[in-house]
């Protein structure tokens, strides 16, 4: 997911997206643990997407003050 796309979302949408990404990361970790994950790099992509969403949420929080 591109940072530009993330910045266009509202705070509620960002919180929803963050929840979805955390669930996806859990599922990826589980599949990796049992050996069914085909692309281990998807773990890193998911983690980076979570970081992007958290960063934008923090920026919006600071801008609101």
pLDDT at residue 21, as a whole number: 98
How many beta carbons lie within 10 A of that of residue 28, not counting itself? 19
Complete domains list, the chain, with CATH: 3-64 (1.10.287.310)
More confident: 45 or 65: 45
> What mean pLDDT is predicted for residues 34-42?
95
Over range 16-30, report the average pLDDT. 98
Q: pTM score, two decimals?
A: 0.93
CA distance 22 to 47: 9
Distances (CA, A) of 39 to 18, 28, 52: 21, 10, 21
The residue to which tokens 């069914």 are assigned: 36
| The two three-digit tokens of residue 36, written as one number | 């069914």
pLDDT band per the 50, 70, 90 thresholds, residue 23 = very high
CA–CA dist 43, 31 (Å, integer): 10
What per-residue confidence (pLDDT) applies to 65? Answer: 82
């Amino acid at each position: 997911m591109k940072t530009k796309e993330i910045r266009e979302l509202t705070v509620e949408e960002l919180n929803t997206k963050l929840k979805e990404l955390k669930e996806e990361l859990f599922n990826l970790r589980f599949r990796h643990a049992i050996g069914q994950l085909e692309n281990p790099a998807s773990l890193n992509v998911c983690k980076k997407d979570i970081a992007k969403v958290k960063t934008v949420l923090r920026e919006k929080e600071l801008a609101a003050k």
